[in-house]
């Protein structure tokens, strides 16, 4: 019989892709971000084929044993831990992925870096800039790679935006404006979850949503030098998560607005809120330069609107609605034929691909990935926003 049947063994796997190593992942967290990161590790090797490494899902860690046990089975991790310190001792864990809450970022990441483990940490880097600074110090002192998961840098449309700006297609940048608007806590009876507790999250809309647009502002336009800001807490107390009959005060911002100056001369507006009815995950960015403009909306993340000031023929000047799904667009050669759009989750696949490439090929996280320095600088801008909101003055960023 001419037709052949093959039972390829794991040994043969090496045969097909012989120099491809495995990298053991130790995951902290199994909720929203644990799901998003794990999904990325699982998809990466067959989407970015051939991969630079096969992520091996070694262990997942969380405090609730029943839950973490189920997460282990659900996602196919080999083991589970209920203590991150123990997990970090596991020699099979080579990469520490921190998808835990903000106040659980600094200590585990610093410890992992000390142990020489590569760290992939969910944003914001820390609950405060002081913590973030310590993490950056730890990253500098470690031979391991450290990256903050500012995943929106890895939206194809935003990477394209970055490339356009770097190539000078927009000319000198005059304006940056970004809004990150959501609506999920408008109901006054929505409980005081951890994201609404300063002790756990550090801040409210600012750290959760604002940090994304601060990072994108820095990524796309450059350093922010000053901020003037206002914050608001529209609903001042909410039902306790433990006892819905009890009200607890909300000590984080429901929203902030800020105006900023950039090193390069541009001015900008930044705004984040969780009180914008109808705005589900509405992160909108517009940049205007001397040669053109661009606009991005996360709810339509496969598109980028671009205007070129001197385009010919001039009768056809207008914003191009670019469907960023061509094989020659960032990351898209890995996916589907054009027009077969990707989703929000895939930004994590791109981020993981970038991180693993840095780890395996000893490449720099910067400038496309966010380093811990970026994480710190972002945190500093956020802290200065809070400060300005208190002082009522334009505050300079003291990097």
Please calculate the CA angle 106-111-117 and round it to the nearest 5 degrees: 110
Among residues 99, 179, 201, 211, the one that binds a second copy under rule CB under 8 A:
179
| CA–CA distance, 199 with 218 (Å, rounded to integer) | 27
Q: Is 326 a binder of a second copy (CB under 8 A)?
A: yes
Scanning 78-86, 101-109, 194-202, 212-220 for contacts with a second copy by CB under 8 A, the matching segment is 78-86
Q: Pick the stretch among 92-100, 178-186, 206-214, 359-367 that binds a second copy (CB under 8 A).
A: 178-186
- Angular region, 193: left φ>0, alpha ψ -120 to 50, beta rest: beta
When binding is defined by CB under 8 A, the residue of 97, 122, 131, 271 that contacts a second copy is 271
Q: Which of residues 79-138 bind a second copy (CB under 8 A)?
A: 79-83, 85-86
Sites for a second copy among residues 9-68 (CB under 8 A) = 12-13, 16-17, 32, 36, 38-39, 42-43, 45-47, 49-50, 65, 68
Residue (76 or 243) nearer to a second copy, CB: 76
Nearer to a second copy, 1 or 398 (CB): 1
DSSP string covering 48-85: SSSPSSEEEEEEEE-S-HHHHHHHHHHHT-SEEES-HH
Whether the link from the prior residue into 50 is cis, omega within 30° of 0, is yes
Distance in Å, CB of 181 to a second copy, minimum: 8
Give yes or no for residue 74 binding a second copy (CB under 8 A). yes
Report the candidate in 213, 77, 107 with the shortest Cα–Cα distance to residue 158: 213
| Contact residues for 351 (Cβ-Cβ < 8 A; gap 6+) | 40, 147, 149, 151, 153, 154, 369
Contact with a second copy (CB under 8 A) among 21, 241, 269, 387: 269
Binder to a second copy among 346, 350, 354, 377 (CB under 8 A)?
346
339 scored as a contact of a second copy (CB under 8 A): yes
Question: Using CA atoms, how far apart are residues 268 and 281, in angstroms rounded to an integer?
Answer: 21
Considering only residues 37, 56, 72, 145, which one is a binding residue for a second copy as defined by CB under 8 A? 72
Residue 41 CB, nearest distance to a second copy (Å)?
12
Which member of 22, 107, 237, 345 binds a second copy (CB under 8 A)? 345
Local structure of 344: helix, strand or coil: coil
Q: C-beta of 303: minimal distance to a second copy in Å? A: 8
Let me know: does 290 contact 168? Beta carbons within 8 Å.
no
Interface of this chain with a second copy, residues 289 to 318, rule: CB under 8 A: 289-293, 298-304, 306-309, 314-318
Give the separation between CA 52 and CA 153, rounded to whole angstroms.
20
DSSP 209: I
């Amino acid at each position: 019989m001419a037709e052949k049947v093959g039972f390829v063994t794991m040994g043969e796997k090496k045969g097909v892709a012989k120099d491809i190593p495995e990298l053991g992942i130790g995951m902290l967290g199994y909720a929203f971000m644990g799901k998003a990161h794990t999904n990325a590790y699982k998809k990466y090797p067959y989407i970015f084929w051939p991969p630079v490494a096969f992520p091996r899902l070694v262990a997942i860690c969380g405090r609730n044993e029943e839950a973490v046990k189920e997460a282990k089975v659900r996602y196919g991790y080999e083991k589970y831990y209920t203590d991150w310190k123990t997990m970090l001792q596991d020699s099979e864990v080579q990469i520490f992925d921190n998808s835990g809450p903000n106040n659980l970022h600094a200590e585990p990441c610093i410890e992992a870096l000390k142990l020489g483990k590569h760290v992939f940490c969910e944003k914001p880097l820390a609950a405060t800039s002081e913590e973030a600074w310590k993490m950056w110090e730890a990253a500098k002192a470690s031979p391991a790679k450290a990256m903050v998961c500012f995943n929106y840098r890895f939206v194809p449309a935003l990477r394209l935006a970055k490339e356009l700006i770097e190539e000078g297609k927009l000319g000198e940048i005059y304006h940056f404006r970004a809004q990150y608007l959501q609506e999920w806590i408008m109901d006054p009876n929505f409980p005081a979850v951890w994201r609404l507790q300063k002790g756990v999250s550090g801040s409210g809309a600012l750290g959760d949503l604002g940090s994304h647009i601060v990072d994108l502002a820095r990524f796309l336009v450059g350093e922010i030098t000053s901020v003037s800001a206002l914050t608001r807490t529209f609903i001042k107390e909410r039902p306790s998560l433990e006892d819905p009959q009890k009200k607890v005060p909300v000590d984080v911002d429901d929203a902030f607005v800020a105006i900023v100056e950039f090193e390069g001369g541009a001015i900008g507006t930044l705004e984040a809120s969780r009180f914008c009815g109808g705005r589900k995950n509405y992160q909108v960015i517009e940049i205007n330069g001397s040669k053109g403009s661009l606009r991005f909306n996360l709810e339509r993340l496969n598109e980028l609107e671009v205007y070129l000031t001197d385009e010919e023929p001039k009768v056809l000047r207008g914003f191009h609605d670019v469907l960023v799904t061509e094989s020659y667009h960032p990351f898209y050669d890995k996916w589907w034929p054009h027009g077969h759009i990707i989703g929000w989750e895939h930004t994590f696949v791109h981020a993981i691909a970038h991180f693993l490439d840095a780890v395996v090929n000893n490449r720099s996280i910067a400038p496309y990935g966010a380093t811990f320095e970026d994480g710190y600088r972002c945190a500093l801008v956020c802290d200065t926003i809070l400060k300005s909101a208190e002082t009522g003055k334009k505050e300079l960023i003291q990097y």
